Amino acid sequence: MGLFNLFKPSKTVVVMDGVSLNDAVGPKGGNVAPRNQLQLLRRLSRFAEREKIEVVVVLSGSPLHKAPAGEKFEDVVVVYSKSTEAHAKYIVKVASSKGSGAILVSGNVAVEKMALASGTKTMRLSTFRKAFDTGGNGAEGGGERSERGGNARAGRNRPPRRRQQKQQPTDQQRSKPERPPKRKPESAEADAINELIDLVD
């Protein structure tokens, strides 16, 4: 059972505070590059498809070219608050407009307080991330799978590796240069030549 199946049978609309999520999983320190925002939207889109929920992401500032305001980007709808100052009120307004099936996910305490005061259900960003970061399979019970796919237990059935019988030469042995043969001292060579000359005579 997925994280948001707890709220069904009514259709779940997750209103995601994109600013809080960017702060939590993206690069720290202010402005987030459009490329990073689009990557996050793609991850949210995969999450929405997997959980079979509707996701509305509320970002702040000027709309991205690839994700225009009020339109779908893959499987998520993207809207924008005018500024970071207006963001908290705007995200609560968006969540309220989605009716009783809406759940607002934010890491901003002010947003949570305003949402609760307006009667909107909320979820902590830390709770959401447990499903989001692990690929949403934590509660499914169907094998421990990571986001990149594959069963974590699959490696346990492999036979043990055999040790190689022949020892390979080590790097140190390979790198030893061959020594040139020792040359006889010149005086010894001269003696040998003189002996040959005496034999010929």
Distance CA 22, CA 42 (A): 13
- Residue 13 has a pLDDT of 87
Give residue 1's pLDDT: 42
Residue 55 lies in a domain: yes
pLDDT at residue 63 in the model: 92
φ, ψ of residue 22 to 5 degrees: the values are -60, -40
For position 131, what pLDDT does the model report?
Answer: 82
Instruction: Return the pLDDT at 198.
Output: 56
Given this model, what pLDDT does residue 68 score?
92
For residue 151, which amino acid is it?
A: N
Q: Identify the residue whose tokens are 């022949």.
A: 166
> In this structure, is residue 172 part of a structural domain?
no
- pLDDT, residue 191, reads 65
What's the CA gap between 104 and 57, in Å, rounded? 10
Answer yes or no: is 127 within a domain: yes
Count of domains for the chain = 1
pLDDT at 196: 59
State the CATH number of the domain containing residue 91.
3.40.50
Indicate whether 93 belongs to any domain: yes
Check residue 57 and give its pLDDT: 95
Does residue 114 form part of some domain? Answer: yes
Residue-number span of the structural domain to which 85 is assigned: 3-141
> Is 184 contained in some domain?
no
Return the number of other C-beta atoms located less than 10 Å from residue 67's C-beta: 21
pLDDT at residue number 25: 79
Regions of the chain with pLDDT less than 70: 1-11, 26-30, 135-201
Listed in order, strand segments (DSSP E) in the chain are: 13-17, 54-60, 71-73, 76-81, 102-106, 121-124
**Does residue 9 have a cis peptide bond before it, meaning omega lies within 30 degrees of 0?**
yes
